[in-house]
Every structure is written in structure tokens, then in C-alpha cells.
Amino acid sequence: MKPVASLLIALIACPAVLGSLIRRRERDSGSSNTQAGVVTLSLERRTTSTTLKSTSKASNRRSSAIHKTAYFGQLKVGTPPQLFTVVFDTGSGNLLVPGKTCESEACTAHDRFDARASSTASEVNCDGSPISPGGIGDEVTITFGTGHVTGQCLSDQICVGNVCNRGDFIAATDESSHPFAQFQFDGVLGLAMPAMSQGPDFSLMERLGDVLKKRMFSVFLSDSASEDSEIVFGDTKTHHMASDLFWVPVSRPTGYWQVQIEDVTLNNEVQGICAQCQVAVDTGTSQLAGPSDVISTLASTLNVKGDCSNFESLPKLGFLIKGHVLNLEPKDYIDKDSSGCEVALMPLDVPPPNGPLFIFGIPFLQKFVTVYDREAKSVGFAVAQHASQKHPEAMLVTIGTNTSSPGVQKRPRSLIQHLSPNDMHQK
């Protein structure tokens, strides 16, 4: 089955494997800047907190606060255009918005697409093929662990900023209340690789490839209310970067922007606990997630005190990717609030060959600008330029390529000062 749902929504609801089911359906009787093939969209940042009972035997805390942050922007569908707020999600492959015929609480709480009000709307099968004359279209059901969305597939004009193209999308006919009724955005715009979409016409980057300056997009996420977040289609913006980009090829044909991890580090020291791990870079995921055995080992090694007494002395948690360590500070991987401190990595066990798999969600993406190159099938990483970041050179360092001896530091160097020409992306 082809996964069509974001890893994020699954993590909000339940860490489960996602999939789609196509079946026959009986026919029922809203800022942007565009320049020379480059589209820049502002993203709104919202954060909510949920208190959950702790399931960790090692934790003395009776509950823990889960902070969920989402970034969403606007796009338009139809003629005349109907405005929707959507999460720009690299963990899914389709555009999904509530449909006008959907009367569930989760749909009526949001803007709904009215196909009858669009002069350019038409119905298609959910593999993108046209419906035969007099035939009946199908529908797709997307499962999210504890939730689901069912929808019909339509084709219409879709505009991102001032760039428009005809494409296919899913208009929900039913959405479960949990978790969708609680979302502050209407839908999801999938930006995963084409393998994740229902078909080529469902993939935004496939449709817009000919009108963009480059077949890529980049994401900068603010870490405070004083900064603006944005997604740029067609190019990158270096003023958001505190280091040069380095590029890593997509490692699996899963549809995710997935790359190889060489190991996990603490204060730039390799730990030898995740030599064959993968990571999916997912702008739609509100948290960090990883293999349960690796997270358990990290939690034991870190020995985070529930009363936060050792918070200031906790190490930088890094991920070694292509000889470069991408570091997170304790504030990025620890949930710290009035009830205490706890490691904020969710267990997610994905079996080989696609796993073991980490998910780089919002805490990571606030730390690093990420660039997604469809043409080269690669992901670029650079330290994000934030006013609050005091030592950006410590967030991205290079170490020796021989990482077979865990526990031995490999002479870390600042990537900002020592970037090799071979690390730069070649077109």
C-alpha cells in the first residue's frame, strides 16, 4: 500500500505505519512574493501543549508535557480561487483539504472546498486517471493510527503564491474528530518525493517543475515570535544560513526525503549505537522520533534528572551524516517545564530496509535550514541564522570519516570554517 499521510499526524495521534486504501465510491444524488520562477511564502507558527501520562519506567514524573508546533501557510484552489491554510509537509505527497460535502465536525470547523463553485473543477480517479464516460469515480481512505480521512479525488487550478498550475488533490468527504478537529489549519500540502503521491499530477513539484527557476524548495523555520518563517520554491536564500550548505543524497526510494545516518554523537563523540540508521526529514512532524532501542540507550547515557538539576551540563546531541555532525542543544531535545525534565524523543520502530529510522521534525528544522532538490534527489543542510543563536559554528562540525571506534572523538572542526569543496552540491 502506498503511504499518503504525513508522519506528523501519525505521531500526534499514534505512532503507526500509514497507508491508503482505494475503493469504489457511489456517486452522491487565503502572503507571498514571486520573482522569475521563485516563490516565497510566509509561514505562521503555532504551538500548543498537551499533557500525557508518562510511560517511562525510568521517569519519576507522573506526566509529561508534549509541545506541538506547526507551521502553515496559504494556497488557493479553483476558479475563482478558494483560500486554504495548509501545512507544507515533506512527509506526505498529496494536497488534502476538506470538501464541501463533508459534514463531520473536523471538516465543518475548517474551510471546505466547494467543487460546484469552481468552473474549472473536475473529478478524477484516485490514481490520477480520467473517469470513463458514465463511470463512477473512486475514493481514497487515509489512516492515521487513531484517525482517518476519506476523500474523493479532484482536478483543478492550484496556486502557490502567484504560480498556478492544474493538478489533482483529495477533497475530504469524512474526517475523524480526533485529531483533525483540533488542527488550526485546513489541510496538508504534501511535498514528499513523487513516489509518495497518488500519481504525478498529485505531486506539486512534478507539476511546478517547468515554471520554477530550479526544481527545489527550501525551508526556514523561526525559533521565536520575533522572526518570520518561510518556504521558498525554486531557489534558496543564503541570508537565512549561518553556514554553507552541504548535500546528502536521498538513500531510499520510499518517497520520503530520507538520508543515511552514520552514527549518533554526544558532544561530537560518536556513540556506535546507530551505524545503519536512516532519517526522514519531515517538516510536518512536530517532534523528534527514533528507534526505541537507540532512544533507550541515549536516555540511559544522558541520565536526565527529572528535577532538571543537570540540565545545564547536558551534552549536545548530534547526528553524523556524511562526515558532518548536526548538533542539537539540550533545549532542543529535552522537554523542560514546571513539572520537570524528560528526553523529548518519541520511539518509532520502522523495520529494515527502510529503518531503523529517525524523524527530524520541528526541533531539528528550527536549528537547520533544509533544502530539497528534486532534480538531484538530495537534501541540503545549513545552520539556520537566528538572532538568538550565540554559537552557530558549534551546531555543524566535521569529523573524520573513520567512525568504527565508538567513544573516540574525531577532531571536530567547524563546518563554517572548514567546508571542503567536495561537500558542495554539483549540478
**Residues classed as catalytic:** 89, 282
DSSP secondary structure code for residue 384 in this structure: B
Long-range contacts, 422-425 (Cβ 8 Å, 24+): 423/244, 423/246, 423/247, 423/322, 423/323, 423/324, 424/244, 424/245, 424/246, 424/247, 425/245, 425/247, 425/373, 425/376, 425/378, 425/380
Round to whole Å and give the CA distance between 408 and 397.
Answer: 16
Torsion of the alpha carbons at 157, 160, 162 and 165, rounded to the nearest 10: -30
Give residue for cell 473512486: 138
Contact between 260 and 243 (Cβ < 8 Å): no
Which neighbouring-strand residues pair with 77? Answer: 82, 158
SS in 3 state form for 118-131? CCCCEEECCCCCEC
CA 178, chain centre distance (Å): 20
Contact between 290 and 348 (Cβ < 8 Å): yes
Round to whole Å and give the CA distance between 22 and 27.
Answer: 15
